[in-house]
Amino acid sequence: MPHHVVALALPGVVAFDLSTVAQVFGHPAEEEYTFEVVTPDGDDVMTSSGFSIGAVHGLDALDHAHTIIIPGYRPHERPQLATLEAVRDAHRRGARIASVCTGAFALAATGLLDGLTATTHWQDAVELQRLYPNFTVQPDVLYVDHGQVATSAGVAAGIDLCLHLVREDLGARVATRIARRMVVPPHRAGGQAQYIEPAAAPTTHGFAELTDWIVDHLDQSLTVADLARHAHLSERQLARRFAAETGQSPLQWILHQRVLAARHLLENSHLPVDVIAQRTGLGTASTLRRHLRREIDVTPTNYRRTFRAG
C-alpha cells in the first residue's frame, strides 16, 4: 500500500509550508505516497496570505493517515479540542506526526512533544518555549526527528524535513530523486544551523570548490590542515569561514558526508561493509556501524536489506 500523508491545514495556514508538503508527497510522480489536505471542519481554509484553499477533507480523514504533517499557521491560536483529540488518536494508533515551522504550536498543544526536544522558526522559538515549557525548544537546528514525532524550522527547513522523512521511509535513492525534481539539495542534516551568517561573495565559490574536492577524496585521511592548504587559508580562517557557510565544523561536515556516501553504496552496490567503510574514509566496518547507528539507529546490514536498489 502507498504511504498515506495528510496535511492538517489550520486557519491561517502558511501557503508555502502547505505547498512544500504537497510537492514532496502529493506530486503525481510519487506513486509511493498518497496525499490529501484536511481542515478542522472540512471547509475551505484561509491562508495567511489572504487566499483560500479548497478541495479539502474533514478530520475523519486522519483515521487513515500514516503520516500527519501540520504546516505553519498564523496567528498561533490553540486548535479546537476536536482537532487535538483527532491528532492524539492518530498518534496512539501509530501514525507519525510532524510539523513545519509554526505548526509546532499546534503539535505542542497536543502534548505529544512533552519531555522531548523540538524546533520551529527561530523568530518564534522564544514564544513557543514560553507557552509550552514542558519540552525543550532548539532554535538553532533545521529539524528534530524523534521517530513518531518530528518538527522543523521555517521555510526551506520544511523541505529538508520532508525529504528526511522520505529517506527514512524509502531510502536515499528515492529522496534524491524527489530533491532533483524539486531542484533542491538532496540532504541537509537536521543539526545544521537555521540562520547562518552570509559569507563574503569571494569565499562562496571557493568553498563550493573545496566541498566538491572533499567529497571526491573521502577515502583519504582529511585534516583541517589539509583543507586549509587546499583553500589557501590558515586553519583558523578555514574553521571560522567553514562554520559560517555550512553551520558545521569541517570535521563534522566531512563525517556526515562519509555516512551519506556509505548509505549510497549500501543501497547501490554489493560491496562488503568493510570495503564501503574503507572507500568512504570511515576506516572499519565497526566505525561505519557506530556512525550509522548514531545517525539513523540502524545497522548497515538492515539498512541495505531495506533500501538496496532493485
Let me know: does 122 contact 139? Beta carbons within 8 Å.
Answer: yes
Identity of the highest mean pLDDT range in 72-76, 194-198, 253-257: 72-76
Q: Each residue of 282-301: pLDDT tens digit?
A: 999 999 999 988 887 788 99
Chain center to CA of 59: 26
Is pLDDT of 200 > 50?
no
Is pLDDT of 172 > 90?
no
Q: Is 198 exposed, middle or buried (CB count within 10 Å of its CB: 0-12, 13-18, 19+)?
A: exposed
- The whole-chain average pLDDT of the chain stands at 89
Q: What is the pLDDT of residue 297?
A: 77
Chain center to CA of 137: 16
The torsion defined by the Cα of 232, 238, 243 and 249, in degrees rounded to 10, comes to 110
Is pLDDT of 125 > 80?
yes
Q: What is the pLDDT of residue 107?
A: 98
pLDDT-wise least confident of 45-59, 86-100, 178-192, 228-242:
178-192
pLDDT-based confidence at 197, cuts 50/70/90? very low
Among 268, 250, 290, CA closest to 277: 290
206: cell is 571557493
Q: What is the pLDDT of residue 156?
A: 87
Domains defined for the chain, CATH in brackets: 3-182 (3.40.50.880), 200-310 (1.10.10.60)
Interstrand relation of 96-99 and 67-70 (parallel, antiparallel or unpaired): parallel
Is pLDDT of 6 > 90?
yes
132: cell is 509550552
Q: Each residue of 230-283: pLDDT tens digit?
A: 989 999 999 988 887 777 889 998 998 999 899 889 988 999 999 999 999 999
> If you average pLDDT over residues 130-142, what whole number do you get?
93
Among 270, 310, 271, 267, CA closest to 292: 267
pLDDT-based confidence at 192, cuts 50/70/90? low
Tell me if the pTM is above 0.85: no
Which residues 6+ apart lie within 8 Å of 154 measured at CB?
Answer: 72, 100, 101, 102, 120, 121, 122, 123, 124, 194
> If you average pLDDT over residues 219-224, what whole number do you get?
93
pLDDT-based confidence at 205, cuts 50/70/90? very low
